[in-house]
Amino acid sequence: MPTLEGKVRSLLVLQPRGGDYAALVDFFRRHDVLGLAVRHAGCWAAELHVPVSGAGPVVVTAVWDDAAAYDGWRNHPVRATFNDDMQRLVDLEASAVVAGGGVYAVVVSASRPAEP
């Protein structure tokens, strides 16, 4: 795995509307949201994280070439097609209250080598 140093990681915090984690996860899967970011916007890898406890926000993280690549994805036409569905699936008011989010520089990284 290549080093991530010099890249940036985005952190997006989303509160599923009505606690419906399954609907939000299904949406990301059906529309291949993370795959589209990798294929079209300078994204190296992306993950959707659901709380093990079953309560709290969903966190989406991704590694990008740079902050401009992430901005490009945020303004990409294909991403704009998801806006209405995301507003239906995410409690925007609760998501705004949750601390976190943003874009961070990766300054130190380590990873396990790929297994054969």
pLDDT tens sequence across 49-96 = 998 888 888 889 999 999 999 999 988 998 889 888 888 999 877 655
What domains are defined for the chain? 8-105 (3.30.70.100)
pLDDT of residue 25: 92
Mean of pLDDT values over 102-106: 76
Q: Are strands 58-64 and 8-14 parallel, antiparallel or unpaired?
A: antiparallel
Provide the CA 94 distance to its chain's centre, in angstroms: 17
Q: Decide if pLDDT at 103 tops 80.
A: no
